[in-house]
Amino acid sequence: MSQKIIFFDIDGTLYDHDKQLPDSTRQAIRDLQERGHEVAIATGRAPFMFKDLRAELGIETFVSYNGQYVVFKGEPLYQNPLNKEALLRLTDIAVEHNHPVVFMDHEDMKANTPDHEHVTAGINSLKINYFPEHDPTYHEGRDLYQSLLFCQDPEDKEYEKQFPEFDFVRWHPFSVDIVPAGGSKAKGIQKIIDQLGISPENIYAFGDGLNDVEMLKTVANSVAMGDGHEDAKNAAKHVTTNVHEDGILNGLKMVGLLD
């Protein structure tokens, strides 16, 4: 069997909705690796938010920040930072509207507002045991790969109109990701594919959310989780069972990677 590369989203895909890794998923990843396949992660999370998961699963290749910071076999491969000037302007407007912003680079994240209930609710939902410290100037002169804007639908639509430099992807009722316009997991994956020189039929991807849609449309062998967003399921070539119902294992069987 020729080597395959399989990209997995984390939240709602590898992790169930309690942020736990199902035993069947853990074993399935090991089985893939024992068969000589490359297992990688493609997530909206920052690298420091899934360090323990990478260590547990022995994964050294990943697409983080929805494609903006890519690492191949432990070494940085591609970086696509946010437009610094536009982020300064956006932050000024956000402050005027009491919309907190969390600034994120490859090592850390800082909040421009201390002790805001929407930041607390959003970050705590990730269950990462890590909370951003207060630093309202962290975005000045620094390469940032993603930021979190805390506002509710449809308040984000006004930011979309004013800032074509960015894409805004909702991940929580209180928050949207801010990423460079046109950036996506799919483009981050392509950087790794170019490095590997692997053919399209040997590329697989699993996801469940809105930030997985382009990845699921683009990758030749794509699988959406059964309890994923309808747009993700419509974008994927296959739909497996729910994440907590052995969704990863069943999906890998569905596409012929495991027996």
Is the separation of the CB atoms in 257 and 37 below 8 Å? yes
Picking from 167, 176, 172, 206, the residue whose alpha carbon sits closest to that of residue 189 is 206
16 tagged catalytic: no
Q: In sequence order, which residues have a C-beta less than 8 Å from that of residue 135 and are 6 or more positions away?
A: 103, 110, 111, 112
* Number of residues that make up the chain: 259
Q: Which residues contact 54 (CB under 8 A, 6 or more apart)?
A: 41, 60, 62
Alpha carbons 172 and 122: distance in angstroms, whole number: 7
Catalytic residue among 9, 11, 105, 246: 9
Report which of 48, 29, 212 is spatially closest to residue 145, judged by C-alpha positions.
Answer: 48
Q: Name the residues annotated as catalytic.
A: 9
